[in-house]
Chains A and B, each alone.
Chain A
Amino acid sequence: KAGVTQTPRYLIKTRGQQVTLSCSPISGHRSVSWYQQTPGQGLQFLFEYFSETQRNKGNFPGRFSGRQFSNSRSEMNVSTLELGDSALYLCASSGGPPAGEKLFFGSGTQLSVL
């Protein structure tokens, strides 16, 4: 079974630009979560999508948004990039409760904002 696929692996952007990250979950998994990881803050939850609906949302500004398609693939968008948005963005899929609590992470997208 193929794992969680995230693209691109690396991104370099400048302040004010916008970025879109993509995530394909494990086949059959309907829940996709996004996390931001920085050395200072650790893993911070952004949002979770299930069956094309945002089911849970973390404490991030509205510049961070996402969506999920009918094939469970998900995208995350960050608009008006700030230097502080530089981080590793991780996507995780899960198969739904009770297994839904077990997350399977993709390799991540390392975003650098200059």
Chain B
Amino acid sequence: QKEVEQNSGPLSVPEGAIASLNCTYSDRVSQSFFWYRQYSGKSPELIMSIYSNGDKEDGRFTAQLNKASQYVSLLIRDSQPSDSATYLCAVTASGGSYIPTFGRGTSLIVHP
């Protein structure tokens, strides 16, 4: 059973701070990793993907992957109230099915 674990939160950070969201996964052969953002009442939206160990930066977002520790994280720098949402971690294993397993998400609240 492939599992993706996230702290449900809420994670509360002040505006301008760095928000750190974490995700662990159980399947060692996992190959692709994604972060989706879901605003309340809306559908998930892909914001980051990462495939190899290390950091990947895109604007204020940085995804970090450590396959040895089976750990992926998302850092949001200069957090804004508009970043308040649920962040879903998704993991896809190798072997061809390409169906991601989602974590239950971490609720982030950025307060002014």
Contact = CB atoms under 8 A, between A and B. Distances in A.
Interface of A: 33, 35, 41-43, 45, 48, 55-56, 90, 94, 97, 100-108
Contact of A43 (B42, B44, B46, B97): B44
A105 B34 contact: no
Given A42-B102, A42-B105, A105 B45 contact: yes
Interface residue tally of chain B, by bracket?
A: 20 to 34
10 A-B pairs closest in CB distance: A42-B104, A105-B43, A43-B102, A100-B98, A101-B92, A101-B32, A101-B98, A56-B99, A105-B44, A108-B43
B40 to A, nearest CB: 12
Classify the interface of chain A: helix, strand, loop or mixed: strand
Interface of B: 32, 34, 36, 42-46, 49, 88, 90, 92, 97-105
Given A45-B101, A102-B34, A103-B46, 15 more contacts: A41-B104, A42-B103, A42-B104, A43-B102, A45-B99, A56-B97, A56-B99, A94-B98, A97-B98, A101-B34, A101-B49, A101-B92, A103-B100, A106-B43, A108-B43
12 contacts: A42-B102, A43-B44, A45-B99, A45-B101, A100-B98, A101-B32, A101-B98, A102-B34, A103-B44, A105-B43, A105-B45, A107-B43
